[in-house]
Amino acid sequence: MSRSIIGDELAENLVTTARTATGDSLRSVTYFTRANFEQLYLREDLEQDADLNDFVGHEWQGYKQTVNAYQESELGDYEFTVRAFENGYLLRVTSERSGVLITTDGLSMQSYEEIAEAIGRMLEQRSDDD
């Protein structure tokens, strides 16, 4: 199956990485750019008709605001965001050109760090290839 904004190989690698790191805790994987998004994986027991337009737009805007706000921080460079919700967690890993949103049931912070590092490398590799 050919994808519109992301190649099949990268899409498969993103989903495989997320599934391997999270197991049955993985809820969804969405790849996004400033202008578009594509949901790569959605667990079968979740609603299939969620409207992701506003959600993804907010996360892209949030990434840009976070990078700008903390660029001179003594904490160092921004790496990723984890958000906690009533029914799950969201991990946002973003590069200058694209990002990935992963939703999960609960995981340890170390697990989120490991997933973010792996996804970040894939996004950077894609940027280097373009």
Half-sphere exposure of 46 (CA within 13 A, CB side): 17
Tell me: the pLDDT tens digits for 44-96?
Answer: 888 777 778 777 877 877 887 888 788 888 888 888 999 999 989 999 999 88
119, 100 in Cβ contact below 8 A? Answer: yes
What type of residue sits at position 40?
L
Which CATH number fits the domain 8-129, given the four candidates 3.90.1660.10, 3.30.450.30, 3.20.20.140, 3.40.470.10? 3.30.450.30
The residue ranges of every structural domain in the chain are 8-129
- pLDDT class for 13, splitting at 50, 70, 90? very high
pLDDT higher than threshold 80 for residue 27: yes
Q: What is the pLDDT of residue 99?
A: 92
Q: What is the DSSP string of 43-109?
A: -TTS-TT---HHHHHHHHHHHHHHHHHTTT-TT-S---EEEEETTEEEEEEE-SSEEEEEEES---H
C-alpha to C-alpha distance for 29 and 90, rounded to whole angstroms: 10
pLDDT value at position 125? 82
Instruction: Tell me the whole-structure pTM to 2 decimals.
Output: 0.86
pLDDT of 117 above 50: yes
pLDDT tier at 40, thresholds 50, 70, 90: very high
pLDDT band at 105 (very low <50, low <70, confident <90, very high): very high
pLDDT at 128 over 90: no
CA atoms of 92 and 63, how far apart (whole Å): 8
Smallest CA-to-CA distance from 108 within 11, 17, 23, 13 is with 23
Instruction: Tally the C-alpha atoms within 13 A of residue 56's C-alpha that lie toward its C-beta.
Output: 21
